Amino acid sequence: MSLKFAYYPGCASKEITRESSDTTLKVAPLLDIELKEMPKANCCGAGLLKDYDYKLHLAMNARIFAEAEGMGLDIMTICSTCLMVMSTANSELKNDEKLLAETNELLGEAGLTYKGTIDIKHFLWVVMKEVGAEKLKGLVKRPLKGIRLASFYGCHTLRPSSVLGFDDPLNPTSMEEITAALGAESVDYDGRTKCCGFQADLVTEEVALAMTAKRLLSAKDSGAHSVVTPCPFCHINLDSYQSKAERVAGRKIDIPVLHFTQALGIALGLSSKDMGLDRHMVPLQDLLDSI
């Protein structure tokens, strides 16, 4: 039986972290997952839209949901922030008739309605819950033997658990379980479930970078060969801004950062080119050579 979703990579993964979406599109068929593009889908607002205007935020999210509803599919995303923003909006709309009606009034302006029938899932959940670690293990072509990975969950993968509810926000295990299925080892470290600082990059940059550095250093000092994250925004801070974080930390960090999708891709036998590994700012070659 094949799984089928409306695919919402999120804005980051359409541009800056394109490599993650490219990888997803190649990994999904190997896992019997069919992904349908959403050509009309707008940005979820990443929370910034919610800061600007709560009702507009609901309406813009509902517009995304309406498209999926029209396709008769649940949404799968590879972006944790999109997951959190869309899931909380969806839960609020589903649990408050008045809010849903007000939102539909706005959508009506564009001839749309949202009935409140769809769910939103992260690729990580789909792999964990619907594909399963056992099946995944059987598909591995290139086990990540001898590699120690530091899973960096990303805030919006886990919290608020009352809405997301997929994994324990304090002691999550899904990333480690998948890591194990791929043949790699996991390290435990202080920053595992904490914030990378992304949302403050353009607001209080120094604080954001100090946070990024602290998380990376705790991963590095735990003996990890690489960080792996299911969130593209975390990836931007941890990889793209790592050199800036090093400047704030006053110390070389130099730890590669894989997208969760790439960890799957490597183990399932995709090529570096398929996964856009050359797009990373922190080089991955040593890591790949050691597998």
Partner 1 sequence: MEITVKVKRCNPQGNADCKPSWQSYDIKAEVGMSVLEVLLDVIAGVDPSLVCRRSCRSAICGSCAMKINGRPLLACDTQIIEEYEKAGRIELEPLDNHRVIKDLAVFQEPPWDEFDKIIPYLNEKDKDVAMTAEDEHAIDASQKCIMCGSCNSVCNALEMEKNYLGPAALAKAWRFVGDVREGKKEKRLDRLSQEHGIWDCVRCVHCTEYCPKDVAPLSAIERLRDKAMAYGIDDNHGAKHSTAMVDSIRRVGRLDEAAMTFKTLGLLRSIGMIPFGMKMEMHGKMPHPVVLPAIDGIDEVRKIMDKREEEKKKEELD
214 touches partner 1 (CB under 8 A): yes
Q: Is 250 in the site for partner 1 (CB under 8 A)?
A: no
Does position 87 bind partner 1 by CB under 8 A?
no
The residue count of the chain comes to: 291
The residues near 115 (Cβ < 8 Å, ≥ 6 apart) are: 69
Q: Does 11 bind partner 1 (CB under 8 A)?
A: yes
Contact 239, 257 (CB under 8 A): yes
Beta strands in 88-213 (DSSP E): 120-122, 148-151, 185-186
Helices (H), 182-259: 205-221, 232-235, 242-249
Nearer to partner 1, 79 or 268 (CB): 79
Q: Does 109 bind partner 1 (CB under 8 A)?
A: yes
Tokens of 262: 């790439």
Q: Which residue, 167, 75, 166, 90, is CA-closest to 121?
A: 75
**226, exposed or middle or buried, with CB in 10 Å at 0-12, 13-18, 19+?**
buried
In Å, how far are 31, 32, 123 from 1, measured between CA atoms?
A: 11, 8, 17
Give least dist CB 265 to partner 1, A.
Answer: 18
Whether the Cβ atoms of residue 44 and residue 86 lie closer than 8 Å to each other: yes
The verdict on 255 binding partner 1 (CB under 8 A) reads no
User: Residue 116: left if φ>0, alpha if ψ -120 to 50, beta else—which one?
Assistant: left
Binding mask 135-174 for partner 1 (x = CB under 8 A): --------------------xx-xxxx-------xxx---
Question: Using the rule CB under 8 A, is 281 a contact of partner 1?
Answer: yes
Smallest gap from residue 95 Cβ to partner 1 (A): 14
Under a CB-based contact definition with an 8 Å cutoff, are residues 26 and 88 in contact?
A: no
Among 271, 278, 286, 290, binds partner 1 (CB under 8 A): 278
Residues in 43-62 at the binding interface with partner 1, rule: CB under 8 A: 43, 45-56, 59-60
Figure out which of the listed residues 33, 86, 195, 266 binds partner 1, where binding follows CB under 8 A: 195
CB of 42 to partner 1, least distance (A): 4
Minimum distance from residue 115 beta carbon to partner 1 (Å): 17
Residues that bind partner 1 (CB under 8 A): 11-12, 14-16, 18, 39-43, 45-56, 59-60, 63, 84, 106-107, 109-112, 155-156, 158-161, 169-171, 194-195, 197-200, 202-204, 207-208, 210-211, 214, 240, 243-244, 278-281
